[in-house]
Amino acid sequence: MSPGEELARGFREAYKPVVDFIESADDQTWTVFVPGEEATVAAVMNHVAQSMRYNGAVLKAFRLGTPPVQLTHQMIDTFNRAEKQEAAEPQRGEVLEAMRTGVDRIAGSLEAIPDEAFESPTRIEVGDHVADNLDQWTVEIVLRHGLDHVDTCRAALR
């Protein structure tokens, strides 16, 4: 199995609990305010689904051999604020579809990346998180992103 195929499998596995969380959320859960996120469960899960666009842009850069977009903490905060204002209560079905589509696209992109790209020393910054290559970015940042947000939502539901 190639590094991309292995990471794609891990990505799908890591996001299965995220998809399951969205699927199992009832109307009451969907509107709960999550203090640690300063947003509702709906807005948090929409954020995770929308982050797939950034993940796709990073992977596209690696496929094209161009430097990936570096996200400063300020850029992330600005994007998150705008996202919360635009989609304060996104529909669960729309978020679920965006999540499923994003997971499929990202997994497919990971599978299409040449093996050598995973070892290429390319710095990727995502706010406070810094990875030295694509493999580290995928494992330490991307695989954890959705699960971390689900954990924060679950803590607010207790």
Give the predicted TM-score (pTM) of the model: 0.90
Q: What is the pLDDT of residues 78-117, one digit of tens each?
A: 877 777 666 557 899 999 999 999 999 999 999 999 998 8
* pLDDT at 84 (0 to 100): 65
Which domains occur in the chain, in start order? 3-157 (1.20.120.450)
CB 74 within 8 A of CB 127: no
SS3 label, residue 124: strand
Vertex 24: Cα angle to 18 and 26 (nearest 5) = 125
pLDDT band at 76 (very low <50, low <70, confident <90, very high): confident
What residues form DSSP beta bridges with 40? Answer: 33
Q: What is the pLDDT of residues 1-40, one digit of tens each?
A: 999 999 999 999 999 999 999 999 999 999 999 999 988 9
